[in-house]
Amino acid sequence: MIMKKIKIAVLGADGQLGQEFRHLHQSYEYMSFDFFSRDDCDIADQEEVRAVLLSENFDYVINCAAYTAVDKAESEQEECFLINAKACQFICNAIKGRHVRLVHFSSDYVYHVYNGFPLKETERCIPSGIYAKSKLEGENIIRASEIEALILRTSWVVSSFGHNFVKTMLKLGKDKSELNVVNDQLGTITYARHLASAVLNIITAMTSESADQSLFNQTYNFSSEGITSWYDIADRIMKDEGLSCKVQSITTAEYPTPAVRPLWSVMAKNKIREAFGLDIPHWFTALKECLLAIKADQ
């Protein structure tokens, strides 16, 4: 039985994932949330982070703030590392020595390996590019701090909030007769609402007296089930939404970008599913739910 409300600080609350926590929070009556946008708490400002996280006796800090402009990061290395890595140190410093747990989100980009099998959390990480390296450094800073932290590696995040691939395809599909989309980068989308719900369910599970508390302080993969490509997702969107735009498949080599994209982002979810008993939807389901949410927000 939960005797008191769990007090949670959500950083980066105006991003697509942060807004999903805003959307869901009223469904968790035994949790109390404080939401901090960048204007409320700039995680790149050490003193601001400290002041905010010491302002209340939080039980959990959920860090949704991140530098995610993958291509821009190649020319903005300092800012990318400041937000994705150094800011992790600021957060850890602020909560170290207190009974506060951190939930932090990382990326499939840390792997950058291809072995033909779903990537396990124990896989060797060989990040390529500034964004990928900054995300792995953030992970390592958190682990080295020895605070209690749950690190979730996720991929291809989409939502009815913010800017993402699904919303871009919907817009272009209505404006254009034909689109070229990469077909040789394989992985799965992560519907941000599913990710936020999983986090809150994990926090709920940790309140049980019988819960194995050591399960929290680990690194896990989380994304939808299945294997797909950006081309397949775009094609599915056009068909599901009845759009006449034709999607043509192209290779990564035909669409060069400043940052190197992983060709294999299929991650194994056995660890998180077994640890917390989570039901992880297939990407078909995730996409349909995301599209419905986008319609509902219009």
Give per-residue pLDDT as tens, 39-98: 999 999 999 999 999 999 999 999 999 999 999 999 999 999 999 999 999 999 999 999
**Residue 74 confidence (pLDDT):** 98
Q: For 265-271, what is the mean pLDDT?
A: 97
Q: Is residue 240 part of a domain?
A: no
Per-residue pLDDT band for 116 (boundaries 50, 70, 90) equals confident
Q: Is residue 201 part of a domain?
A: yes
How remote is the C-alpha of 52 from its chain's centroid? Answer: 23
Please tell me whether residue 141 adopts helix, strand or coil conformation.
helix
Please tell me whether residue 85 adopts helix, strand or coil conformation.
helix
Residue 85 belongs to domain with CATH number:
3.40.50.720
> What is the percent of the chain where pLDDT is above 90?
95
**Residue 7 confidence (pLDDT):** 97
Q: Is the pLDDT of residue 1 over 90?
A: no
Q: For 145-153, what is the mean pLDDT?
A: 97
Q: Is residue 174 part of a domain?
A: no
**Residue 3 confidence (pLDDT):** 62
Q: Is residue 170 part of a domain?
A: no
Average pLDDT over the chain reads 96
Q: Which residues are catalytically annotated?
A: 131
CB of 200 closer than 8 Å to CB of 24 = yes
Q: Is residue 155 part of a domain?
A: yes
Per-residue pLDDT band for 297 (boundaries 50, 70, 90) equals confident
The range of the structural domain enclosing residue 69 comes to 6-164+189-226+265-281
User: How is residue 14 annotated by DSSP?
Assistant: T
Q: Per the structure block, which two tokens stand in for 298?
A: 């219009």
Cα separations (Å) of 119 from 187, 202, 224, 228?
A: 10, 22, 14, 15
Q: Is residue 81 part of a domain?
A: yes
Go through the chain and tell me how many residues it has: 298
Per-residue pLDDT band for 4 (boundaries 50, 70, 90) equals confident
Measured distance CA(74)–CA(45) in Å, rounded: 22
Q: How many domains does the chain have?
A: 1
Q: Per the structure block, which two tokens stand in for 9?
A: 């600080």
Q: Is residue 288 part of a domain?
A: no
Q: Is residue 245 part of a domain?
A: no
CB of 186 closer than 8 Å to CB of 265 = yes
Give 186's strand partners. 229, 264
Q: Is the pLDDT of residue 2 over 80?
A: no
Hey, how many other C-beta atoms are within 10 angstroms of the C-beta on 185?
Answer: 19
**pTM, rounded to two decimals:** 0.96
Cα separations (Å) of 154 from 17, 40, 93, 172, 238?
A: 12, 26, 25, 25, 25
Q: For 102-117, what is the mean pLDDT?
A: 94
**Residue 115 confidence (pLDDT):** 82
Per-residue pLDDT band for 32 (boundaries 50, 70, 90) equals very high
CB of 33 closer than 8 Å to CB of 21 = yes
Q: For 199-219, what is the mean pLDDT?
A: 94
